[in-house]
Amino acid sequence: MNTALSFAMDFGSYAIKGGRMYYAWLLFLAFFILVGSYTAYIQFTQGLIVTGATDQVTLEAFFANFVFTAHVAAAAVLVVAPGYFYHRKDMKELAVMGEIVAMVFVATGITFVLFHMGRPDRTWHIIPGIGFMNFPNSMLAYDTIVLNVYLLLNLIGVSYILFKKYVGTFHEKQLAIWFRPIVFLAIAWGPLIHIVTAFVLASNARVGMWATAVLPFAFLTMAGASGPALVVLIFLLARKYTRLEIGDPVIDLMTTIIAWSLGILMLVFAAEFFTLLYPSTEHADSLKYNMFGHNGLNMYVPWFWGTIGALVASFVALLFRKVRHSYDRLLPMVCFVVFFAILIEKPMILVFPAFSPTPLGEYAEYHVTLIEFFNVLFVWALGFLFLTLILKGAIGILTGEVSHEKASASS
Amino acid sequence: MSKEKIKESNEADDLQQGRREFLKNVCASSVAALVAAPASAEAAVDPANPDADVTVAEFFQGHFILMSDEEKKQAIARLEKRYSAQYGKKTTVSDVPAPEGVLFGYALDISKCIGCRRCVHACVKENNQSRHDPEVQWIQVMKMPKGNISFTTEQLDKGYPEQSEFGDYGVQVGGNAYKTAGFSTEDAQNYYNDDLVPDKDFFYVPVQCQQCEKPPCVKACPVRATFRDHAGVVLIDYNWCIGCRMCQLACPYHARRFNWGEPNLPAEEMNPKTHYFGNRPRMRGVMEKCTFCVQRTREGRNPACLEACPVGARKFGNLLDPESDVRRVLATKRVFRFKEEYGTYPKFFYYIG
């Protein structure tokens, strides 16, 4: 018990220590959490009427962002898998970083879903036993299960690895018998949360843009691009500002994954657009609205071409060796663009335009309100705050700066 | 002078007496108040923020269908008390079950409908929808252009591709007949605001919940807050709905409406005769939709929209009874279902009379 306590204490005190830039970053996040607490209060007392959602466009920015968090959470397995499947030693060392990203992003996604709900106070209605879960019919019931299990798997994995490394007994022979199965289950579970999230959307036959078999593939490729893009940024920052050693081959592997995920994404988009646009039946209406507008409603048009352009440009850029190896300038820039392009793709291509035309032929634009925008930033700020603190503490343990030995030696 | 003094002192005595009695009464009544407090506390409802007065018991109540008879009785009593206090009139919340051996069906004659929207407003009045900011309407009337679009000779060689040795001008975009005509949602006007109806170039199609036999909304609901009763009507337990809007996503008829904010229902316009699954006042953050006026039809009456229709375009009845209006329509008219390609098998039929 004492060890666990000192683990938590050492982990926490290392996580909140840092340079001026580190505190500036935390303060930056704290600002949005402060403002967001107020806007969240407004939303929870007045209802979703303070968001831009309507009966015509019923999913708001929260749901769009939730899909994106599922992207990143699922893709974190790409950091874990090379170590455990292909026995890459350098990746195995860093596997815990990927699991932390997965854990925090799933939690962020669940928070987004709570913001999406009209009655978050009734969430308990879905818990079997005290409530009623419509299993196996409702896709949201599946999603609830897979997300929470994924969160739990990663929580167990992360705490176990970090604690074992902290006490210094993280060796093959000293690991619990359940540890490896849990890691492998988590690796398999990553794509699973994503496929199920795609099915939550694809199960709605009336939304033509989603009722397509390529949706899970589009999701997985976008996950393969956005997740590693964030991981590359984290790794580049970590090796620049901390003593954590991350070799170039690790970064290169991640970059390759981003590049070819984007490559396959190009094919998925092409397949989807061709299948819709060549026959140009009513199923293509949403896409045409997204691409060219409809009777003067053309708010999504620049977002569509901008996002697609950014994704294509990033793919082409990553084909150049010079860009891939420009670790301090071009590569982080490209990763930043990929991350944000896929984040923007969610509301502006996947979610909002898909609702027009409605079943009764209406076209509608979605305008995100200020309160909604700050609530989105609130959840993101919370997510990134936890991500920063947990990653910082984990780096302390991985570099050996935080360990049980040191703690007991100093006391 | 002395007389006056005596009178004064008498008055003072009276006052004294009065004060004593007053105090006695206060003590007695406050004891009574204390005893009665738990009961009356629930009745004190602040109309500005009715959500704050939802009792703990209501918050923790389970799905109505799964409750025991005793729990149902208590839930109904709680609601009646709350609504009565909130709207200042005696409100009844019924839980009359659906009649046995009945399958409700609806038929609507699109050749008769004149697009007056009396059904829309009768529905709002009957079913206690929010009246402003926004007004929630369960029926939406589509105004569709008839087939009389203008074909012109100038238009003959217009469109893309412009020229072809086959003469097939405009086979891709913008040819002479490149317009919608007849039953199509593509050019339907949902917010027409005409001084006079019907407009002679248009026909009208009212859409409300189609009470599907295979409802995609029921399948999508993660907590079974929405379900189909044995008379074939899809209902919602407003106290069980978690507001996730998966049903709204699944519905191919745009039939479901969400309470994005606290519904605004003025007390004087509130219909106090309600049903638990029907027209009882809703709360913020839950879904609602047409129930075929469950509070009326379970008691053998017709839905409000049917009663309001001035041209008799609406027919309602028991699909199991060959003598019912609906069955007679099905047997003798040209009937179709809206969006039947979705395989939802609505029990709401359109016909051309």
Domain range annotation of chain A: 2-410
pLDDT at A361 over 50: yes
Q: Which of residues 360-399 of A touch B (CB under 8 A)?
A: 360-362
> Where residue B51 falls among pLDDT bands split at 50, 70, 90?
low
Would the ipTM clear 0.85, i.e. be above it? yes
Q: How far is B233 from B291, CA to CA, in rounded Å? A: 7
Average pLDDT over residues B288-299: 97
Tokens of residue B226, six digits? 């929405």
- Per-residue model confidence (pLDDT) at position B167: 76
CA–CA gap between residue B256 and residue A165 (Å, rounded): 54
Nearest-by-CA chain A residue for B172:
A280
Asked if the C-beta of A139 comes within 8 angstroms of chain B's C-beta atoms, the answer is yes
How far does B189 lie from chain A, in Å, by closest CA? 8
Q: State which residue of chain A sits closest to B66, comparing Cα positions.
A: A132
- State in Å, rounded, how far the first CA of chain B is from the last one: 98
The answer to whether B261 contacts chain A (CB < 8 Å) is yes
Q: Does B242 touch chain A (CB under 8 A)?
A: yes
- CA proximity to B149, closest of B171, B108, B110, B181: B181
Helix (H, G, I), strand (E, B) or coil at B316: strand
Put simply, whether A207 touches B (Cβ < 8 Å) is yes
Shortest Cα–Cα distance, A10 to chain B (Å) = 41
Tokens of A53: 């959602």
Q: Which residues from B are below 8 Å from A54, CB to CB?
A: 260
Q: What mean pLDDT value characterizes chain A?
A: 94
**Is there a contact between B245 and A8 (Cβ–Cβ < 8 Å)?**
no
Whether A203 and B188 lie within 8 Å, measured CB to CB: no
Tell whether B220 is within 8 A of chain A (Cβ): yes
CA dist B132 → A52, B295, B350 (Å): 18, 23, 31
Q: To which residue do tokens 């402003």 refer?
A: B132
Strand partners, B143: B189, B204
Longest Cα separation, chain A: 75
Amino acid identity of A326? Answer: S
Nearest to B253 among A121, A138, A359 (CB): A359
Kindly state whether A411 is in contact with chain B, defined as any CB-CB distance less than 8 angstroms: no
- Give Cβ neighbours of residue A142 (< 8 Å, ≥ 6 apart): A135, A136, A196, A199, A200
pLDDT at residue B319 tops 60: yes
Q: At residue B17, does pLDDT exceed 60?
A: no
Amino acid at the residue B267: A
- Average pLDDT for chain B: 86
Among B108, B74, B57, B88, smallest CA distance to B276 is for B74
* Mean pLDDT on A198-213: 94
Q: Which residues of A touch B257 (CB under 8 A)?
A: 55
What is the rounded CA–CA span in Å between residue B96 and residue B29? 39
Conformation bin of residue B172: beta by default, left when phi > 0, alpha when psi is -120 to 50: alpha
pLDDT value, residue B180: 80
Residues with Cβ within 8 Å of A148's Cβ and at least 6 positions away in sequence, in order, are A110
Q: Hey, is the C-beta of A118 within 8 angstroms of any chain B C-beta?
A: yes
Of B184, B186, B286, the CB nearest to A119: B286
The 3-state DSSP class for residue B192 equals coil
Q: Are A47 and B284 an interchain contact pair (Cβ–Cβ within 8 Å)?
A: yes
Do residue A122 and residue B222 have CB atoms under 8 angstroms apart?
Answer: no
Angle at alpha carbon of residue A285, lines to A313 and B286, rounded to 5° = 100
Q: Does B148 have pLDDT greater than 80?
A: no
How far is B61 from B58, CA to CA, in rounded Å? 5
User: Exposed e or buried b for every residue in B221-244, given b needs 16+ CB within 10 A?
Assistant: bbbbbbbbbebbbbbbbbbbbbbb
What is the pLDDT at residue B42?
Answer: 44
Taking only the tens place, the pLDDT of each residue in A93-116 is 899 999 999 999 999 999 999 999
What is the predicted pLDDT for the residue at A172?
Answer: 77
At B180-229, the pLDDT tens digits run 888 989 889 999 999 999 999 899 999 999 999 999 999 999 999 999 99
Provide the pLDDT for residue B50: 52
Of B62, B224, B257, nearest to A134 by CB-CB distance is: B224
Q: In B, which residues are within 8 Å of A47 by CB distance?
A: 259-262, 284-285
CA distance A90 to chain B (A): 43
Q: How far is B120 from chain A (nearest CA, A)?
A: 16
Percentage with pLDDT > 90 across chain B: 71
Does the pLDDT of residue B41 top 70, yes or no? no
Which of B239, B244, B340 to probe the A interface (max A CBs under 10 A)? B244
Q: Which long-range contacts (CB under 8 A, 24 or more apart) does A18-27 make?
A: A18/A392, A19/A241, A21/A241, A22/A392, A25/A388, A26/A385, A26/A388
Q: Cβ contact (<8 Å) for A47 and B66?
A: no
Contact B250, B218 (CB under 8 A): no
**Quick check: A242 contacting B, CB < 8 Å?**
no
Assess B208–A contact: CB distance below 8 Å, yes or no. Answer: no
**Nearest of B264, B226, B285, B227 to residue B128 by alpha carbon:** B264
Is B43's pLDDT higher than 50?
no
Task: Tell me if chain B has a CB within 8 Å of the CB of A328.
Answer: no
Give per-residue pLDDT as tens, A55-81: 999 999 999 999 999 999 998 899 999
Long-range CB pairs of B56-61, under 8 A, 24+ apart, other chains included: B58/B82, B58/B239, B59/A121, B61/B239
CA distance A385 to chain B (A): 27
Name the band, by pLDDT with cuts 50, 70 and 90, for residue B27. very low
Q: With cut-offs at 50, 70 and 90, classify the pLDDT of residue B47.
A: low
In this prediction, residue B52 carries a pLDDT of: 52
* Candidate from B220, B225, B260 with C-beta closest to A48: B260
Residue A358's closest chain B neighbor by CA? B254
Give the pLDDT mean for A156-164. Answer: 94
Q: Quick check: B254 and A116 CB within 8 A?
A: no
ω into B161 cis (within 30 of 0): yes
The reply to whether residue A134 touches residue B190, judged by beta carbons under 8 angstroms, is: no
CB B75, CB B58: distance < 8 Å: yes
Q: Domain B2-139+208-352 belongs to what architecture?
A: 2-Layer Sandwich (3.30)
Judged on CB neighbours under 10 Å (0-12, 13-18, 19+), B155 is middle
Q: Look at residue B152 in the predicted model and tell me its pLDDT.
A: 80
Q: HSE on the CB side for A239, CA within 13 Å?
A: 14
| SS3 at position B141 | strand
pLDDT at position A341? 97
Task: Spell out which residues of chain B touch residue A205, defining contact as CB-CB under 8 Å.
Answer: 216, 250, 252, 342
Min Cα distance B267 → chain A (Å) is 20
Identify which has the larger pLDDT, A340 or B51: A340
CB contact under 8 A, A138 and B250: no
CA dist B259 and A49 (Å) reads: 8
Question: Is B285 in the A-facing interface, judged by CB distances under 8 Å?
Answer: yes
Q: Which residue of A has its CA nearest to B242?
A: A119
Contact A138 B246 (CB under 8 A): yes
Closest by Cβ to B260, choosing from A53, A126, A138: A53
CATH class of A2-410: mainly alpha
Q: Is A110 helix (H, G, I), strand (E, B) or coil?
A: helix
In chain B, residues with a C-beta closer than 8 Å to the C-beta of A57 are none
User: Residue A59 corresponds to which tokens in the numbers above?
Assistant: 């999913």
Residue B166 pLDDT > 80: yes
Q: Does B58 touch chain A (CB under 8 A)?
A: no
Q: How far is B260 from chain A (nearest CA, A)?
A: 5
Burial of B40 (0-12, 13-18, 19+ CB in 10 A): exposed
pLDDT at residue A171, as a whole number: 85
Helices and strands per DSSP (H, E), number in chain A: 15, 0
**Which tens digits make up the pLDDT trace of B272-281?**
999 999 999 9
In chain B, residues 75-104 whose CB comes closer than 8 Å to chain A: none
Report the chain B residue with the minimal C-alpha distance to residue A285: B186
Q: Identify the closest residue of chain B to A138 by CA–CA distance.
A: B220
| Residue of chain B with shortest Cα separation from A355 | B249
- Measured in angstroms, the CA of A281 and the nearest CA of chain B are apart by 12
Q: Work out how many CB contacts closer than 8 A connect A with B.
A: 139
Please report, rounded to a whole number, the percentage of residues in chain B having pLDDT higher than 70. 84
